Amino acid sequence: MTDPASPVLTGSVADGSLSLAIQSSADLARVYQESLHFAQSQGLPANLQQDLLAATSDIARRVVRYSAQQMACTVSAAANAVRIEWQAQRGKLVSDSSAMYLGPLPARTQPNLGETDSTITVAGWRWLPREPISRVTLVSRPHPREKECGDMALVVRSAQKLRLVVADGLGHGPAAREAAMRAIAALRKDLHMDVSEAVYSAHQHVALTRGATLGVADIDLQSRIVRGTTIGNVRVVLFHGAGRTWCPCGTDAVLGHGRGNQGRLDVRVEQHTLPEGAVVCLFSDGLASQLRLPWQRSDLDDLAAQLFMGFALPNDDATLLIAS
């Protein structure tokens, strides 16, 4: 999961960690046993042990249903806090929910993109015990003629802050990915910087590539304030209740272009408080801009699958990152 080409980029592991191998339903019992042993060896409180077992069991069942060609799941524990990261590459997207679309847009009928596409990567992050934002799900798929996705996502967290990023390299293919990867690397390295500074830094890093569009959301985990911006057509949207609560207007520009005296990038950062139960979404233009949440709430991983299947467009890299 530390492969720089991977969409999963994370901080370091502190105390103990456990890697779970999940290939088929035959592994589910072992996943449970290994998770239990890990939870006990880390001396986690009973309620945290239960939550950890429930989470790894849920993830293992999902991963088996995705029929992914590659999967990884890592559990880390430090100071009575647990982080779980998982990734399933080149699988088929499935959703538990029978109610596919009850939202403001009409249900999309077959063929269902996710069920026919085996190039999708799904990844998730969970933090225990529960916090203002304790889960993130990523769904990503390259352009149909490409092997590598020109979009990249970043999920990185410190004690105070969770940073979510989607970068979309212009065009598609390896050169697009290079541009996106540089933006992501800068925003990971500069986690300590505020959104505006970090975006300027990314702007420098992306110079000499073909450029990228970008969405960034920094969530302050103590004050429950989200600060965000967009450069170009990546969307950052806060959903709460029935509709869009907040969406930073951002800047119509290309990251990495227009450097020098004449082309200083105008970064406009906006902020909003994060209400209880809010969902933060970032997505590239490979998903339709009118993306809306369905009325009926479901598990975050199922919601991500539903949104991706409902709104992904056929002829571009597509990346959706959602957090709740």
- Residues in the site for Mn ion, rule: CB under 5 A? 168, 284-285, 316
User: What's the first-to-final CA gap in the chain, in angstroms?
Assistant: 22
Nearer to Mn ion, 319 or 324 (CB): 319
Nearer to Mn ion, 248 or 286 (CB): 286
Q: Least Å distance between CB 187 and Mn ion?
A: 18
Contacts of 79 (CB under 8 A, 6+ apart): 14, 15
Contacts of 20 (CB under 8 A, 6+ apart): 31, 34, 35, 56, 60, 73, 74, 75
CA distance 82 to 51: 10
Pairing of strands 70-78, 81-91: antiparallel
What sign does the CA torsion over 62, 64, 68, 70 have?
positive
Q: Least Å distance between CB 287 and Mn ion?
A: 9
Nearer to Mn ion, 114 or 211 (CB): 211
Pairing of strands 212-220, 225-231: antiparallel
CA distance 66 to 191: 32
Q: Least Å distance between CB 286 and Mn ion?
A: 5
Nearer to Mn ion, 149 or 304 (CB): 149
Nearer to Mn ion, 52 or 312 (CB): 312
Q: Least Å distance between CB 285 and Mn ion?
A: 4
CA distance 133 to 154: 15
Nearer to Mn ion, 60 or 179 (CB): 179
Q: Least Å distance between CB 168 and Mn ion?
A: 4
Q: Least Å distance between CB 167 and Mn ion?
A: 10
